[in-house]
Structure formats: structure tokens, C-alpha cells
Structure 1
Amino acid sequence: MQINKEIFRAYDIRGNSLKDLTEEVAYKIGFGFAEMTIMKDNDKICVGLDGRLSSPNLCKALELGLTNAGAEIINIGVVPTPVLYFADKHFTPAGSIMVTGSHNPRDDNGFKILQKGKPFFGDQIQELLTKILDNYSNTTPASPYVISAKAGIHNIQSKYLKRILDGININPKLKVAWDCGNGATGDIVEELKKHLSNKNIIIHSKIDGNFPSHHPDPTNPANLQELIKVVKEQNCDLGIAFDGDGDRIGIISSSGKILFGDQILCIFAEDILKENPNATIIVDVKVSQFIVAKIKSYGGHPIIWRTGHPFIKSKMLETKALLAGEMSGHIFFADKYFGFDDAIYAALRFLDLLSRSSKTLDEIIEDVPKSYSTPEIKIFVPSELKLQIIKEIKAKSLEEKIEFNDIDGVRVNTAHGWWLLRSSNTESIIVARAESDSKNGLEEIITIINKYLEKYGLLINY
């Protein structure tokens, strides 16, 4: 069979489950990964899956490939991605794989992978692709895909809940609305509610891969409108939303204000730096320059780094950073936690922070830097063109003697703001972001971006 190489991306494997990431491909990925990973003294691979419609069959095919290559499966069932990360810490298997499409469109799916406790990405994913193409691209197991008898089902959720609640103290008077978006966080949040006050309201907790309420992506304001309505109508102190696999968080204030991921990071940074002065904090390339400056004013040492959970985690380990965050709502804690992105734990930390504060969330937001900025603007382009476009924009910037940060795309500081163009690692899009200290300044920066994009018939409007 023909394998679409485009689904083997920078930090995970992701593609359309109807045509590219099929059960046959999942089997080969499982077989190849097991051959690369298992050892004589550790043949265990931990596997979890989200609630997408294609996830059960992809998981079965993946596990058959793993077991046929000699692995013993630790199956933890339908869970959010952070629970898979926790299980990897708990069981210490040779590797772990999460079957999830995260925030991607409904028919997409993918694999987030760990090997020996660390992210499996970049050259490792390309090595896996090469192994599949060179050795068994034409081999197909007998259908149907059936989980091997070697698979063991393990319930890790109670241990996970105990860990994330450890050290958390939440004011029982806080009234919170939670939106699970019919994603994989539903069961966990319902169980979590038993440990919290009766003032918690949960919507869309039933796991349903059709996503009947709205798409589970809290970075899109359209997906937060129902939560905003609930927060206002029920007089909640705040609202919390998750993406489909529970590694991205969105937060709403009592007045309905949406906090972007970098604003959430800024609030956490101030809190952590009180106990850990001069701590290193990793921010992704999309984070506000004004928030980077604010973190410095708190006494922190911010480092701008590549977008993507494996890049952030690796940089945290290298620099011993205590906190990291992305514009997209991934928050990583290493001060009192494991250093992986866990939106459920981040939610509890945020509630703990609010419980210790004399201010309301709206009052806390007043201290976060104000600017005129765009959200993440997604420009849809074919996968084969997005990298070429960014490469040519870099070359043009060099030709014009413009200083820029190319750690991940092109990020340019201007006299009154900054702008970014980067290729997404998970979708066929180019991401644009711009920020200025004035409305006119933002319009000028958007005009600059469009001058680069018009050559390709692309424009951004905001």
C-alpha cells in the first residue's frame, strides 16, 4: 500500500483517518515502533485513546502491530492525553502511545508517542517512517484487527486524580463552569467534581466523537460562547474549557472575558516566581512580546522557543525551567509536577491560585499587559507549499536586512510590536500572529504581513 509521508510530522503522527491514517497504517506503526523500542528487560508499551470515532479501531490495529512485534500492552482505555503521560511515569514502560486527534477536525486522528519516558519526535519519527517503508510497507496482517491476549487493561484514573489533587487547596465558595466539549476529559472531570464543592457546573461531559455541541478547541472563541453564556447566567466566578484530549486549556472570567494561553501563562508566572525568583520560563514563539517583558519584570528568565510539546519539554529539561506555556493553551509545570502539558492539572492550579488571591479573576486580568493583537490566524495552504512559503519569506527578510528570530518560522520585532509567520506541524496551515501597542500599529503590521503573503495569493483579515 502507498503510505502518505506527510502524516509523519515534526512531533507526532497525524492525518485523516478515512484515507491516510488507516488501520493498516496503524498496524505498521505499531510493529515498527515496537521493534525500535522494546528491550529484553522491558517489553511493555502503554496505550491510551481518546473518544474520536476512529480511535477504537486504530487502537486495536496499533496494538496488534505492537504485540506481533513482541510487545506486552498496558491498555489504559479512553483517557485524556495527560493521563497517558502520567501512566508512562507510573508504569515506566519501554514506550507509550496515545491515539488522539487532539484539536484537529473530526475525521483526523493521530499518535502522540513517548520512548523511554521522553518525547518521540523529529528524526525519530522519520526513522520510524523509513523503517516502515524499507521493511514491511507491503505486509498486511489478517483482518480483522483483534487485540492480542497479551494486552492488559489497567485503570490508572484514580491514581492520576490522587496525584493532581495533591497539594491543591480550592476555596469551596468558588463557582466554576467546566466545558469538556464531548472530548476525552469528560469522565475525569465528572469524577473530579466529587472531590470539589457542589458549586461546579459541567457541560458536555459525555464523550462523543461526533462533537455535537461544538468542536473541542478552546483557542477558537466561537467554541467558548456557550461556556461564556453559562458563566454569566449562573453567576460563576470563572469557566474552564478543554480541547479534545485534555492538554489545552481555555479560561473565561466572570464577565465573559477570554484569556489567551499566554495570558494564562503570565498569571502562573507571577505566582511561581514569588516562590522561585529568577526561574527560567519557556514561552513558545507565538507568545506576546509584552508578556515576555512582563515575565522579566516579575524576575523571571523567559526563553522563546519552538512551538510543540516535545520541543518545549526537551527545552525545559535542558534549562531546568519550572514553567512553560504556549499561546494555544498548553501549560507545563515542573515546579511541583512532571513537566508535561496537562490542562486538568493546570485548571486545578489556577483554582488554587484564585483561592489564595484577594482579587477576582477580572481584577487579576487588569495586571496582565494590554495590547492590540490578533489571535492565532490560520491560513490554509497545501502541506507541500507551507514550508516552501516560510522558506521564501525568510530569504526575503534576509535580503531586506530585517532582523528576525527563526527558531520556528519568522518572528520579527518592530518599533511598536511584532509579527510571526510559521508553518503548523499538525495541520495544512500557516499560522500568523501580530501584536502592537496601538490599533494603528497593529493595522500597519498586518499590512506588512500581507505584503509577504500576496505573492502566494494569500491575505489575512482581522
Structure 2
Amino acid sequence: LPGEHHVIFAEVDGNFPNHHPDPTEESNLADLKRLVTKNNLDFGLAFDGDGDRIGAVDALGRVIWGDQILSILVEPALREHPGAAIVADVKSSQALFDRITTLGGEAVMAPTGHSLMKTAMTRTGAPLGGELSGHLFFAGDYYGFDDAAYAAVRLIRAVHLSGQSLTALHDAMPALVATPDLRFPVDDAEKFAVVDAVVARLARDGAVVDLTDGARVTTPEGWWLLRASNTQAMLTVRAEARTDDALASLLAAVDAHLAACGVTRA
């Protein structure tokens, strides 16, 4: 690719002497942020250990999360596939689903998990899908799986086609505050029962709940999600709102529902 490129930590070492290769942990992106801002680069890219997840930072060193990367990829995808379905996992920002709809696409919410995402894409014929975790899936003119190197090229292309910088695209996104994926231990034998109990309480309260994967609850303040991990003895919580106070209110609601089930977020 033309341009000025810098590579860090290119030597393969399974001991991970620099940091764990997880681009969803902001602390793992500290060296990339420093490199980008020090050298006045347009943006930086990060990959996980097996090359199927991507992370990014803009010229100011701000993290572009997986659902935000997907939001940037949506416009060229829908230009090439008008009216197509775009799949995003249940943890993704509401701003992403709204953007897909605004651009004339069909916003499809899917359970978290790469096999579940690929199933949803096949079912809907979606050319593009992605998760908050940085798994991005390309069908249509690609093979339908998550490939971080290919995702990087597609992101570079999308930024070029926009005629703007990645930083400008980031600035144009709705100003929202959100938690990371908050995980806390709950026994495997109990985690699904806890979610079911919370869902029952929400139904009694007349809450607006999406049951795609756990319970995603929409309120005037924003939304929150409670789901059981597919792979660990964990429950996960995520929430998004327009203000810090609203976010705190959403988390307080989650904690109240968990407390009624005898569970506390550690």
C-alpha cells in the first residue's frame, strides 16, 4: 500500500512480551496511540493474536471500537448493496443500528459469537457484519469470515471513499458514553437462570426488552444488556447513554435486578 507505514511488535513471540494481543483492552493500545500521535499519523491499526479481530485509533489517539469501525464500513457496503441487511451483535451501539437504517439498510441484531454471526449473515444475505469485539465479517465479494488484515484494508478504503479523515469520521459519530464489556463470575449452573429471572422481572414491569441474546433493555436514558457468557462462568453487562449520569442510572437498574436474584457485580 502507498503511504507512510510504521510497524511495532512485528516479531512473533507467543509469550507476548509487550502486552496481550487483545485490541478491545484500551491499555493494550497505549504504544500504538503514542506512535500515531508522536508521528502525526492518520490512524493506527491493531490485531489480536490469531488475526481475526481488529482495533483502531484515530490521529488524536482515540480508540475506534469494533462497532464504530463497522459504522464506517456500512456506507460503502450499502452503496454497493442497496437495501441490504447489515448484521451487528447485541452488544453494539444503538447509533450503529440507527445509522444502518438511515442509510437504507436493514439493521439486524444477532447474538454474540462468530458462528452465530455468520449464521445470521447467511440467513439474511448480509454482505457485512461485525461485533463490538472487533470481529468483522465480509461476504459478497469475500468469504464471509472474520479476517483482521482484510478488515484493515476495507477500513482504509472506506476512509478514502468518504473523503474525510478517520478523525473527522469519529468526530461525526453521536456523542454517547458506554461501558466496556463488564464481566463478573457466576456459576455455570446458575448464570442462565439469573438472566431468565431478570427477564421475568422485566416482563412484569412492562420494560422494552430485546431477547436476541440475554436481555437488552431500552429506556429513555439509553439501553443496557445482561447476558450469559457463551464460553465462561460469567455474566456480562454493557450499557450506553447520552450522559454519565444517565449511564450511572442504567447501571444502578442492572444492579437492582441482579440484587433481587442474589447476585452482585464484583
Short-chain TM bin: over 0.9
Aligned partner (choices 184, 191, 194) of residue 386 of structure 1: 191
The amino acid across from 2:153 in the alignment is L
**2:87 matched to which residue of 1?**
282
Aligned partner (choices 417, 420, 423) of residue 228 of structure 2: 423
The amino acid across from 2:134 in the alignment is G
**2:5 matched to which residue of 1?**
200
Compared with structure 1, are the counterparts of its residues 225 and 380 closer, same or farther at alpha carbon in structure 2 (3 Å cutoff)?
farther
**1:246 matched to which residue of 2?**
51
The amino acid across from 1:459 in the alignment is R
Aligned partner (choices 278, 299, 310) of residue 104 of structure 2: 299
1:267 positional shift: 0.4
The amino acid across from 1:432 in the alignment is V
The amino acid across from 1:456 in the alignment is G
**1:395 matched to which residue of 2?**
200
CA distance in 2 between counterparts of 1:402 and 1:352 reads 41
1:273 and 2:71 matched: no
1:443 and 2:255 matched: no
The amino acid across from 2:264 in the alignment is L
**2:264 matched to which residue of 1?**
458
Aligned partner (choices 113, 126, 139) of residue 334 of structure 1: 139
Q: Bigger radius of gyration, 1 or 2?
A: 1
Q: Is the 8 A contact 1:291 1:368 kept in 2?
A: no
Aligned partner (choices 351, 359, 363) of residue 156 of structure 2: 351
Q: Is the 8 A contact 1:393 1:452 kept in 2?
A: yes
Compared with structure 1, are the counterparts of its residues 209 and 380 closer, same or farther at alpha carbon in structure 2 (3 Å cutoff)?
farther
Any unmatched runs of 5+ in structure 1? 1-169, 174-198
404-413 or 391-400, which moves further after superposition?
A: 391-400
1:364 positional shift: 1.2
Deviations 1:114-154 (A, max 9, x none): xxxxxxxxxxxxxxxxxxxxxxxxxxxxxxxxxxxxxxxxx
1:382 positional shift: 3.2
SS in 2 for 1:200: coil
**How many residues are aligned here?**
265
Q: Is the 8 A contact 2:208 2:219 kept in 1?
A: no
The amino acid across from 1:452 in the alignment is H
Aligned partner (choices 351, 354, 367) of residue 172 of structure 2: 367
Deviations 1:248-285 (A, max 9, x none): 11001111010111111110001211222211101110
SS in 2 for 1:365: helix
CA distance in 2 between counterparts of 1:356 and 1:297 reads 19
Higher relative contact order (CA 8 A, sep 6+): 2
Any unmatched runs of 5+ in structure 2? none
CA distance in 1 between counterparts of 2:119 and 2:94 reads 22
Q: Is the 8 A contact 2:66 2:135 kept in 1?
A: yes
1:210 positional shift: 1.6
**1:86 matched to which residue of 2?**
none
Cα RMSD (Å) of the superposition? 1.6
CA distance in 1 between counterparts of 2:54 and 2:215 reads 26
**2:126 matched to which residue of 1?**
321
1:457 positional shift: 4.2
Task: Calculate percent identity across the aligned residue pairs.
Answer: 39
**2:64 matched to which residue of 1?**
259
CA distance in 2 between counterparts of 1:253 and 1:235 reads 10
